[in-house]
Amino acid sequence: MTSDFATLTLIGFAILSGAMSPGASFLLAARTAVSSSFSAAAAVAVGLASGAAIFAGIALSGLHAVLLYIPGLYLTLKIAGGLYLLWVAIKILRRSAGATVSDEQNIHHSIGRAFLSGLLTQLSNPATALVFASLFSSVLSSASAPRMSVTLPAMAFIIDVLWYLLVAALLSARRPRHAYLRYRTLIDRCSAGLLAFTGLKLLFR
């Protein structure tokens, strides 16, 4: 029991560190919070967390081996993920160019669309499944692995959703929202540039 607790603690810190690191997922959660509403950002958080749980389940099921031994499948998933992030970057630039400050204040993403954006953004990088697989294989024993088949995906979901809900709560407050409205064009261009860079890395790495 003590060994399992130590293992879960180690994996939990690793998952939290990954969620907190700058990237497409954090960028989506932060931008949704400041540009839309807390409810939309919360839906994004649930989508991102669901994607993390799916990748954790894939890693535990051994399907990551398929990605390793069928390079064509992994390449296809990477290309799809990279193109999706580039598409999101273009959408941000177009929306920024065509919106006024009053328009931005009235944007309210549908909950379903926000959830789907979070889920697809998380799933856009199949390398995350390999990262989970490496982490799990390095700390799990053959005896404990079966017991973790439900625990670890659930933990990945809880950690991610709590972190991104915190981001949503902090950045949907009045001051961050006013700062976004004031510097909307610059922030949107930087966000689109970072997403495009991430997408190109997936395509050409």
The whole-angstrom separation of Cα 65 and Cα 194 is: 30
Instruction: Summarize pLDDT for 137-191 with one digit per residue, the tens.
Output: 666 665 555 667 788 889 999 999 999 999 999 888 888 777 776 777 777 778 7
Length of the chain: 205
The pLDDT assigned to 9 comes to: 83
Categorize the per-residue pLDDT at 106 as very low, low, confident or very high, splitting at 50, 70 and 90.
very low
Mean pLDDT for the stretch of residues 116-132: 84
Q: How many other C-beta atoms can be found within 10 angstroms of the C-beta atom of residue 170?
A: 13
pLDDT value of position 188: 76
pTM, two decimals, is 0.77
Provide mean pLDDT across the span 50-63.
Answer: 84
Are the CB atoms for 45 and 122 separated by under 8 Å? no
